[in-house]
Amino acid sequence: MNASAVEITNLLYRYAELIDSGDLEGAAGLFKHAKIKMTGSDEPQDHRAVLALWRNSIRLYPCGTPRTKHVITNPIVEIDEAAGTATCRSYYTVLQATDDLPLQAVAAGRYHDTFQRVNGKWRFKYRDYSLLDLKGNLSGHLHASLLAALK
- How many domains, the chain? 1
pTM of the model: 0.93
Asked whether 133 and 114 are in contact (CB, 8 A), the reply is no
Instruction: Please give the torsion angle defined by the CA atoms of residues 145, 71, 92 and 43, in that order, rounded to the nearest 10 degrees.
Output: 50
Q: Which domain holds residue 10?
A: 3-150
What secondary structure letter does DSSP report for 42?
S
Residue 20 neighbours by CB under 8 Å, 6+ apart:
65, 66, 68, 69, 70
Res. 131: pLDDT tops 80: yes
60-102 per-position pLDDT tens digit: 999 999 999 999 999 999 999 999 999 999 999 999 999 999 9
Q: In residues, how long is the chain?
A: 151
Q: What is the CATH number of the domain that holds 8?
A: 3.10.450.50
Selected residue with higher pLDDT from 42 and 127? 127
